[in-house]
Amino acid sequence: MKSDLPDPVRRQLYEDARAEPPVELLDRVAAQVRVTPQRRSRLVLSAVTAGVAVSTVAAGLVLVVVASWPNGPPASTAPGAASAVASATPVESDGLPATYMGQPVYRGDAIGEHIDADTSSSSFFIGGWLRGILVDCDAPPSPRPSSPLAPWCPSGWFLADHRPVRPDTLTPLHLIVGEHVTLSGWGMADPVILRVHAHDAQAATCAEVIRAECERAVVVEAIVWSGAPQ
């Protein structure tokens, strides 16, 4: 262990470096692996680009809505569209389908894990509940580079990974809607599936201190499904 750490911390890390995992831990992992399917398929869709609006996230992810609908969402993806619903598997206990168009629908922590595993800008599906929240931010404590992918103040539309009860239960994604995108028509009490991508090409233009945040930004290409009653 190097000596430039304060002595108490160095001693603590020295102990941690010798910690032994519980003997049953490997068995627990092995048991879960045998009941957990692997995710195999990859969806490759071209990203839709147009005017971009932005968002931030409490937990480090950024969701950006691409304003791809100059006159509002196309009928095939509007809430309650029968064709979209027919492409989804039956909903799970959390109210969202496990797959959409044969592809997995990521939610919660799985979204970030997928972004870490796949560093391409290929499209994938995420699910959750939309909610509009206005956040009043103080000025940043120090000058901070800004980017559409990494705005300073999170405000606007969020994607919660469960049915929101109060604003402070929101996790983990926040989005700001582009001027041509109208999310207010989507029932906030009902789950939605979004087609998104990460590792957007714009991340390369971000300042170094926020580039990792930009890389993890989740760019929304379309709302493809809603669990609103038919």
Partner 1 sequence: MIRARQGDANAFDELAMRHLTDLYRMATAMVGKADAGDLTQEALLAAWRDLPRLRDPARFSPWLRRILMNRCRNALRSRARHVTAELSPEMGDGRSEIADAERRIGVEDGLATLTDLQRGVVVLHYLVGLSLADVADTLGIPEGTAKSRLHQALTALRAYFGEDAP
138 binds partner 1 (CB under 8 A): no
180 binds partner 1 (CB under 8 A): no
Write out the binding residues for partner 1, residues 51-90 only, by CB under 8 A: 59-60
Instruction: Please report the DSSP string for 194-215 in residue order.
Output: EEEE-S-GGGGGS-HHHHHHHH
Sign of CA dihedral 95, 228, 52, 44: positive
Q: Minimum Å distance from CB 121 to partner 1? A: 13
38 binds partner 1 (CB under 8 A): yes
Distance CA 190, CA 164 (A): 10
92 binds partner 1 (CB under 8 A): no
Closer to partner 1 by CB, 14 or 72: give it: 14
Closer to partner 1 by CB, 53 or 203: give it: 203
| CB under 8 A, 24+ apart: contacts of 34-42 | 39/104, 41/102, 41/103, 41/104, 42/118, 42/122
Say if strands 217-226 and 62-67 run parallel, antiparallel, or are unpaired. Answer: parallel
91 binds partner 1 (CB under 8 A): no
Give the one residue of 16, 136, 138, 179 binding partner 1; rule: CB under 8 A: 16
Distance CA 199, CA 22 (A): 37
144 binds partner 1 (CB under 8 A): no
Whether the Cβ atoms of residue 47 and residue 221 lie closer than 8 Å to each other: yes
Distance CA 94, CA 14 (A): 42
2 binds partner 1 (CB under 8 A): yes
* 46-54, 129-137, 187-195, 212-220 -> range binding partner 1 (CB under 8 A): 212-220
Sign of CA dihedral 222, 195, 192, 135: negative
* 23-31, 46-54, 65-73, 85-93 -> range binding partner 1 (CB under 8 A): 23-31
Distance CA 220, CA 175 (A): 9
Whether the Cβ atoms of residue 135 and residue 155 lie closer than 8 Å to each other: yes
18 binds partner 1 (CB under 8 A): yes
Give the one residue of 32, 93, 142, 230 binding partner 1; rule: CB under 8 A: 32
Size of the site for partner 1 (CB under 8 A): 52
216 binds partner 1 (CB under 8 A): yes
Facing residues of 158 across strands? Answer: 131, 174
116 binds partner 1 (CB under 8 A): yes
- Which spans of this chain sit near partner 1 (rule: CB under 8 A)? 1-13, 16-22, 25-26, 28-30, 32-34, 36-40, 42, 59-60, 109-110, 112-114, 116-120, 208-209, 211-212, 215-216
